[in-house]
C-alpha cells in the first residue's frame, strides 16, 4: 500500500514536470473574426459568450481610409456620437490595438460615420479568474 502510494506520487511529479500548468496568458481578440471591423457586422453577437479579462487585447483590422476606432462615453455610445471621444485608438495603418488594461466597460465605435452600419462594440473587462487550486 505504502509502496504504491510512492509510485503514484512519483508518476504525478513526473507528470507535473512534463506538463506544467500553463500560465494564464493574455488573449488577443481579432474583432469580428474574419469579418474584421466593417459595416453590417453584428458586434453584439460577436461579443456574446466571450469573457474579456484584464490584460487582454482587442485587435481591429479595417480600411484605414474609411473607418477608425474611438472610445466614447456610455451615453455617446448609445447615441452614436463621436464628436468628443474619450480616446482615439486610431494610428493610421488600419490595424489598431485596444489594450483592455482596466476592469470596466469599454464603449468603442467607428467615428467616421458615427457607428456606420452598426460599427459599435462594447465589452466589459473582468478580473481574471483565480488559478486552479493546488492538488
Ligand atoms: C485619431 O488619431 C489619428 C492618428 O493620430 C488621426 O489621424 C485622427 O484624425 C484622429 N481622429 C480623431 C477623431 O481624433
Ligand atoms: C491603459 O492603456 C492606455 C493606452 O495605452 C493608457 O493610456 C492607460 O494609462 C493604461 N491604463 C492603465 C491603468 O495602465
Neighbouring-strand partners of residue 61: 95
CATH class of the structural domain 26-126:
mainly beta
Q: Pairing between strand 52-53 and 28-30?
A: unpaired
* Strand order from edge to edge, sheet including 95-99: 28-30, 57-61, 95-99
Checking if the pLDDT of 110 tops 80, the result is yes
The CA distance from 135 to 120, in Å, is 44
Pocket test for ligand 2, best of 87, 90, 96, 99 (most atoms within 8 A of CB): 99
* Residue showing cell 462594440: 121
What sign does the CA torsion over 11, 12, 18, 19 have? positive
Neighbouring-strand partners of residue 127: none
Q: Which residues does a 6 A CB cutoff place in the pocket of ligand 1?
A: 68, 70, 85, 88, 90-92, 111
pLDDT, one tens digit per residue, over 48-100 is 999 999 999 999 999 999 999 999 999 999 999 999 999 999 999 999 999 99
Q: What is the pTM of this model?
A: 0.81
Please name the residue whose Cα sits nearest to atom 12 of ligand 2: 101
Amino acid at each position: 500500500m505504502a509502496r504504491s502510494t510512492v509510485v503514484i506520487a512519483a508518476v504525478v511529479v513526473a507528470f507535473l514536470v512534463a506538463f506544467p500548468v500553463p500560465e494564464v496568458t493574455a488573449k488577443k481578440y481579432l474583432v469580428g473574426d474574419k469579418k474584421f471591423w466593417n459595416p453590417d457586422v453584428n458586434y453584439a453577437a460577436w461579443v456574446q459568450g466571450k469573457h474579456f479579462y484584464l490584460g487582454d487585447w482587442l485587435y481591429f483590422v479595417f480600411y484605414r481610409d474609411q473607418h477608425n476606432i474611438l472610445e466614447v462615453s456610455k451615453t455617446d455610445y448609445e447615441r452614436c456620437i463621436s464628436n468628443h471621444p474619450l480616446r482615439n485608438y486610431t494610428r493610421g495603418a488600419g490595424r489598431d490595438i485596444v489594450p483592455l488594461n482596466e476592469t470596466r466597460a469599454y464603449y468603442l465605435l467607428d467615428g467616421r460615420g458615427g457607428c456606420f452600419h452598426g460599427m459599435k462594440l462594447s465589452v466589459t473587462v473582468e478580473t481574471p479568474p483565480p488559478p486552479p487550486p493546488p492538488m
